[in-house]
Amino acid sequence: MFTKFPNLETAQANAKQNGIRERVVCYITRGLDLLVFEHGLPYPTAGIQVPAGGLEVGESIFEAATREAFEETGLTGLEVKQDLGSGLFESGTRREIWHFVWLQTQEAKNIWEHFAEGKYTFFCRFEPLEQVILHYHMDAMLPELAQQLGLETQFSRASIRPCVICYITRGQEILTFSGHPDGGMGVPAGGIEVGETSPEAAIREILEESGLTLDNPVFLGQQDYYFKGTHPENGTPLEFYEDRYYYWFAIHEPRDSWDWVVSDGVDDKGKVFKHTFVSLEQARIDWDMDEFIGELREKIQS
């Protein structure tokens, strides 16, 4: 989730008042092209990004932007153009104030690799601004950049699927299952349908995937999630981008385990999900759906 501030001063005052980390996001242009990059393995969830990083003590946003751009791309001699805007970024447990800075370069290379800090590889390239797709709300100020460059264009945002992730607990245990087509250990989850609220989707997905009829969901938080890699079992390429809403349901269920034939879903209908309650402390949930397990433990213990 990204919420814009009216100006830089308001954004920085909010950061100071609430103790929120400040970060710069760098739009580096060459003519009408924008510099973007992707990470190599083992960072399949990095997505398509632009240079970005935290402000150091005493740095202005322009100093931080020039430094981060050099560290992540190797580019020097950048011309700082202007501040494009700021906003509050929230994803999972992260809350940061982002400042978007426009810089220009005369770099001749179109594609290159940059190795940083002895462990990160950035695969850099220039793309026409009108074709750029960025993940994790890094596209928030692209319209402002296009306006400065005299472009009249409607940007296609990364196709993000809204979905719910459901934690169902029984005391100190959580319900997990195996048998999903994507493999691994899961919890009830799925897409939010048109006209449906996220709590309604959570209740429906639980019924479809476990047979349980539940109500009174407790909202835990939201997460932007991107994955690009291969299926863990059959090796086929996978890529998806999700806006995840996490809900918690506390229940009194006498069964320790059961099988359920999934009643609906594009890929899941007819599949047999094998459910079992496991210790919350030892639970392993795949596909990074454990984002709010820490918050869940705190709520149960309080």
CA distances, 7 to each of 2, 63, 88, 113, 287 (Å): 15, 18, 12, 35, 37
Residue 130: other Cβ atoms inside 10 A? 17
The CA–CA distances, whole Å, from 188 to 36, 185, 282, 283 equal: 35, 10, 18, 14
Q: Alpha-carbon distance 5 to 17, whole Å? A: 14
The sign of the dihedral angle between the CA atoms of 297, 299, 300, 302 is: positive
State the Cα–Cα distance between residues 273 and 185, nearest whole angstrom: 10
All residues at 6 or more sequence positions from 182 whose CB lies less than 8 Å from its CB, including other chains: 231, 232, 238, 287
Complete DSSP assignment for 139-173: TTTHHHHHHHTT----------EEEEEEEEEETTE
**230-286 residue pLDDT tens:** 776 677 777 788 889 999 999 999 999 999 999 887 778 888 999 999 999 988 898
Over the stretch 58-106, which tens digit does the pLDDT of each residue have? 999 999 999 999 999 999 999 999 999 999 988 777 889 999 999 999 9
What pLDDT shows up at residue 111?
95
Tell me how far apart the alpha carbons of residues 281 and 213 are, in angstroms, rounded to a whole number.
Answer: 25
Q: Which two three-digit tokens encode residue 174?
A: 């959580």
Which two tokens mark 54?
């935290």
CA dihedral 136, 138, 140, 145 (to 10 degrees): -160
Query: Residue 44's pLDDT is what?
Result: 59
Average pLDDT of the residues in 189-196:
88
Complete domains list, the chain, with CATH: 2-148 (3.90.79.10), 161-301 (3.90.79.10)
Whole-number Cα distances in Å, 178 to 182, 186, 242, 273: 10, 6, 21, 6
- The secondary element (H helix, E strand) that includes residue 224 is strand 218-230
- State the CB neighbour count (10 A cutoff) for residue 67: 17
Environment class of residue 155 by beta-carbon count within 10 Å: exposed (0-12), middle (13-18) or buried (19+)? middle
According to the model, what pLDDT value does residue 267 have?
75
CA angle 229, 233, 236 (to 5 degrees): 45
Q: What is the pLDDT of residues 137-192, one digit of tens each?
A: 899 999 999 999 999 877 766 667 889 999 999 999 999 999 887 778 899 999 99
The structure's pTM equals 0.70
In whole angstroms, what is the distance from residue 69 CA to residue 103 CA? 9
**How many Cα atoms are found within 13 Å in the side-chain-facing hemisphere of 208?**
21
Residue-wise pLDDT for 5-24, tens only, equals 999 999 999 999 999 999 99
Distance CA 5, CA 81 (A): 20
Displacement of CA 27 from its chain's centroid (Å):
19
Res. 229: pLDDT tops 80? no
DSSP-assigned states of every residue in 104-139: E-----SEEEEEETTTEEEEEEEEEGGG---STTTT
